[in-house]
Amino acid sequence: MALQWMILTYLVAAEAAIATLLTLPSPKLLKYRLVSLISLLLQPAIFIVPFSGFQLLDIYWKMEHRLMCTGETCTAAERDRYEKS
């Protein structure tokens, strides 16, 4: 899961850099070509939004369905599983 978050972090950083490049003042022709180049580069990376949604759902699912071991009714195996999560 750490690899997934690392990939997502790099992609968000790249998008921030691209947004910064696009907002800098530049001649109209240069900006048009830069926008078309960036558009071609980002089309294969369109999976970022569903991937982020999947990550958030995964975190939500793990938080909602983790084992709650608060009383003395837990077995040793359940207690170990709770501590690992």
Q: CA–CA distance from 21 to each of 10, 15, 37, 85 (Å)?
A: 17, 10, 12, 42
* Residue bearing tokens 């195996």: 77
CB 46 within 8 A of CB 6: no
Report the half-sphere exposure of 74 (CA within 13 A, side-chain side): 13
8-51 pLDDT, tens digit per residue, is 788 788 888 888 888 888 888 888 888 888 888 778 777 777 88
- pLDDT number for residue 49: 76
Q: Report whether 55 contacts 5 (CB < 8 A).
A: yes
What is the distance between the alpha carbons of residues 49 and 41, in angstroms, rounded to a whole number? 16
Q: pLDDT band for position 1 (50/70/90)?
A: low
The whole model's pTM is what? 0.44
Could you give the CA distance from residue 74 to residue 71 in angstroms, rounded to a whole number? Answer: 7
